[in-house]
Amino acid sequence: MTNKTKKTNTISKSDSIEAYKKMLLIRRFEEKAGQSYGLGHIGGFCHLYIGQEAVVVGLQMCIGDGDQVITTYRDHGHMLACGMNPDGVMAELYGRADGYSKGKGGSMHMFSKDSNFYGGHGIVGASVPLGTGLAFSNKYKKNKAVTLTYFGDGAANQGQVYESFNMAKLWELPCIYVIENNRYAMGTSVQRSSAQKDLSQRGISFGIEGEQVDGMDIESVIAAGKKAVTKVRNNGGPYILEMLTYRYRGHSMSDPAQYRSRDEVKEVRDQSDPIESLKNKIIQNDYLTEEQLQELNADIKKTVDQSTQFATESPLPDESELYIDVYQ
Amino acid sequence: MKTEIYMPAMSPSMTEGTLTKWLVKIGDQLKIGDPIAEIETDKATMEVESQIEGVMSEFLVENGQDQIAIKTPIAIIETTNSTEKLKGKLFTNTIDDQPKKKSTKGPYIDQDKRLDKITVREAIRDAIAEEMRIDKNVFVMGEEVAEYQGAYKVTQGLLQEFGAARVIDTPITENGFAGLAIGASFSGLKPVVEFMTFNFSLQAMDHIINSAAKTLYMGGGQLNCPIVFRGPNGAAARVAAQHSQDLTAWFSHIPGLKVISPFTASDHKGLLKAAIRDPNPVIFLENEILYSEQESLQELNEEIIPIGKAKILREGNDITLISHSISLKMCLEVSKKLEKRNISCEVLDLRTIRPLDINTIINSIKKTNKCVVVEQGWSQSGVSSEIISVIMENAFDWLDAPVLRLTGKDVPMPYAENLEKLALPSEYELIKIIESLV
């Protein structure tokens, strides 16, 4: 991690508090989703974002109104960061009528055009050409918007990623590729899957610049994100941000966790948890008192509880929904 | 000695061509490799090089002469080498031959139409151009669609009219550009994506099925995908198994896709315009061998043709022949032959495969009480299987005989001329099947 961007005390008081709130919301929301899954309220696949919160929260603070976000199936954090309503997200996880996809998409497939969130895509690597296409549309419309195209270290080995890199550079599309390297593609570590382990350098043969960023540190994420967004918005062309991050939970809810030790997880949690680190800075800089922090915590807990309440009360989709929205 | 130069076959499907212009004069000394003429085929305009040394002594066709069948003598070269047998060895350029120089200064749109006729190829191009003029969000993307003027000349002239920002040559990267175009359609653009042939769409199948067809449903109706994937589908000529297959049934299996497979020039035009305006992903299956089929301009229907409507191409009373795309040509020819024997065939052009026009099918069955379904595709889980099921479910009581089908044989397409012919449905087979029913 020698080249990674590392910054300290570079964000304002209000940004610090904002980031903390959003990260905590995602953390608590995901914990709740995990519990609800255990209780059988959520079915199927459910990929939690716990541990990676600084990446999406930090980058979201770097983009503007018309900018777009697209990601893979570990997507609840991205939705909340984009400003989507936790009630609607949780209701979708519950498979209810008031979910973002009317209960027909589930954890991996939610969209919100209003929030410029384009999914939520279940096939590893598929978000990359799609995101490149969003960037293409921005260039076509000459609207100066940029697209954040997220994918993981596992997707980074998909051929379509490089097909996209080629076209993005060839046509100078305003696309920021965010590789969330959480070290494991399901259970296969980057060490065991990738010849070039520095994923930020995967664009080199296309002439796409990239950098590694400490994705566990919100300030580093914001610093790198601002630089990348400015560069891409002003000059066009793609850029790669490899976010070095870590997921505390399994790949999905049914993960035997045989591929890494408990100690490894504990070490990351103890030493570089993004939320704890920012909390410490907030306290050190007297941005908030302990009391205010507790209040904030309670508010978030209330929001999350409310989302499960909302989801529970929302009805199952009407059976007539079965045949709706196959075609427009 | 005098050596005749022949009209060369320059692509697998070429049967005739136009000698656009001679590049040499009578009396010119020719070396091997000298360009001597520019020839326009069904695919491109190419230069033909001399393969012998000698003096150009006579032109047998004029500049601009069209419909010259392959193997027709076009010129005579006086050679000095009297022993070498050159006849028949000349000009065997194949499909892979690229123009040696940039010779495809494509004519601008609407200036290249023959006076009274329009080809399927031109009908497709005109549909795209007309929609591009109306809606600036419509753009064309694919391999060789711009500077090359289309691998099958379908997009000829579009680059000149609309420019490189809207007529976009892609790298050879089907999965990538299919995904990219779908992403662009999510934010409001209307891509018309050309697959050079649908054989290559298999590379992009994940995006077509998982990204294009399902996103509207998965998102509860939030994100639609107004995109057209188009290009030639079905058997071509002598290109063997990987480049010659009918994938209609593959796409027709997928909810969320619309699948169109037209036959006539006017249907190509009207249905493609409808496809471009449709808010859903549409698979528009053309056929390479139909590209040069002509229709008179008077007959050309300029209207938008609704997706999902079949058409009776020919009225009849004794039996209904149901088909789509190029197989209809065979159905019409067989109908003509059988008419002389007092067997009256009704020919139904499906036009759209998904959604299927069940009513028109059933109404025809009610009239004729007998039916054969014809397709180039393989029989198992094919388009014909579906149609036969639909007839069984909806019109069983109206049938006087089992519904039979004639499909492509259950083998990969062979290369050899005789085997290729055997692999495809034939007139003989169709007549035999009809005879067994009426």
Radius of gyration of chain A (CA): 19
Encoding tokens for residue B6?
A: 């022949």
Each residue's pLDDT tens digit, B113-135:
456 889 999 999 999 999 999 99
- Residue A133 neighbours by CB under 8 Å, 6+ apart: B179, B180, B181, B182, B183, B184, B185, B186, B187
Strand partners, B58: B76
| B117-296: CATH, from 3.40.190.10, 3.40.50.970, 3.20.20.70, 1.10.10.10 | 3.40.50.970
Which residues of chain A have a CB within 8 Å of the CB of B207?
126, 129-130
Q: Which CATH class is domain B2-78?
A: mainly beta
In chain B, what are the domain boundaries? 2-78, 117-296, 311-437
Interface touch B183/A130, C-beta < 8 Å: yes
Q: Comparing B117-296 with B311-437, is the CATH topology the same?
A: yes
Tell me the two tokens of residue B73. Answer: 């003598």
Cβ distance of B211 and A324 shorter than 8 Å = no
pLDDT tier at B10, thresholds 50, 70, 90? confident
Q: How far is residue A275's CA from residue A26's CA, in Å, rounded to a whole number?
A: 10
Instruction: Kindly determine whether residue B217 and residue A325, on different chains, have CB atoms separated by under 8 Å.
Output: yes
Query: Parallel, antiparallel, or unpaired for β B294-296 and B117-119?
Result: antiparallel
| pLDDT surpassing 50 at residue B100 | no
Catalytic residue among B131, B144, B174, B375: B174
Q: What is the mean pLDDT of chain B?
A: 90
pLDDT of residue A80: 98
Say which of B207, B243, B268, B324 is annotated catalytic: B243
* Residue in this structure with the two tokens 């509207």, named with its chain if needed: B216
At residue B95 the predicted structure's pLDDT band, cuts being 50, 70 and 90, is: very low
Section B139-144 average pLDDT: 98
- pLDDT tier for residue B216 given thresholds of 50, 70 and 90: very high
Q: Can you give the pLDDT at residue A3? A: 47
pLDDT in tens, B160-193: 999 999 999 999 999 999 999 999 999 999 999 9
Which of B79, B160, B83 lies closest to B125 in space, CA to CA? B160
Fold entry, domain A13-308: Rossmann fold (3.40.50)
Q: Which of residues 215-254 of A touch B (CB under 8 A)?
A: none
Among A235-244, B100-109, B260-269, B280-289, whose mean pLDDT is lowest?
A: B100-109
Phi, psi of B207 (to 5 degrees): -70, -35
Tell me if B193 sits within 8 A of B154, measured CB to CB. no
Q: Tens place of pLDDT for every residue, chain A, 328 residues?
A: 444 555 567 899 999 999 999 999 999 999 999 999 999 999 999 999 999 999 999 999 999 999 999 999 999 999 999 999 999 999 999 999 999 999 999 999 999 999 999 999 999 999 999 999 999 999 999 999 999 999 999 999 999 999 999 999 999 999 999 999 999 999 999 999 999 999 999 999 999 999 999 999 999 999 999 999 999 999 999 999 999 999 999 998 888 888 999 999 999 999 999 999 999 999 999 999 999 999 999 999 999 999 999 999 999 999 999 999 999 9
What DSSP character marks residue B112?
S
Looking at residue A5, its pLDDT comes to: 52
> CA-CA distance, A122 to A40, in Å (whole number)?
21
Instruction: Give mean pLDDT, residues B357-379.
Output: 98
In a mutagenesis test of the B interface, which of A140, A175, A320 is the best target, namely the one with the most B β-carbons within 10 Å? A140
- pLDDT given for residue B302 in this prediction: 75
Q: Does B163 touch chain A (CB under 8 A)?
A: no
User: Span B247-253, mean pLDDT?
Assistant: 98
**Chain B contact for A320 (CB, 8 A cutoff):** no
**Statement: residue B96 has pLDDT above 50:** no
Query: Both tokens of residue A248?
Result: 């505390």
Task: Give yes or no: B243 in active site.
Answer: yes
Q: Which CATH number fits domain B311-437: 3.30.70.2190, 3.40.50.920, 3.30.460.80, 3.40.50.300?
A: 3.40.50.920
Rounded Cα distance between A169 and A240, Å, is: 11
- A59 neighbors A217 (Cβ within 8 angstroms): no
Dump pLDDT digits (tens) for B407-435: 999 999 999 999 999 999 999 999 999 99
Residue A7: predicted pLDDT: 56
- The answer to whether ipTM exceeds 0.85 is yes
Residue B267 Cα, gap to closest chain A Cα (Å): 22
Average pLDDT over residues B226-248: 96
Amino acid at B238: R
pLDDT at A4: 52
Q: How many CB atoms within 10 Å of residue A313? A: 12
Mapping DSSP to helix (H, G, I), strand (E, B) and coil, where does residue A211 land? strand
Best to test chain B binding among A96, A111, A320 (most B CBs inside 10 Å): A111
pLDDT tens-digit readout, B77-92 = 888 754 444 444 444 3
Sketch the domain layout of chain A as residue ranges: 13-308
Name the amino acid, one letter, at B417.
E
State the SS3 of B291-356: CCCEEECCCCCCCCCCCCCCEEEECCCCEEEEECCCHHHHHHHHHHHHHCCCCCEEEEECCEEECC
Closest C-alpha to B226, from B183, B177, B194: B183
Per the CB < 8 A criterion, the answer to whether A209 and A241 are in contact is no
- B199 in Cβ contact with B174 (< 8 Å): no
Cβ-based contacts of B192 with chain A (< 8 Å): none
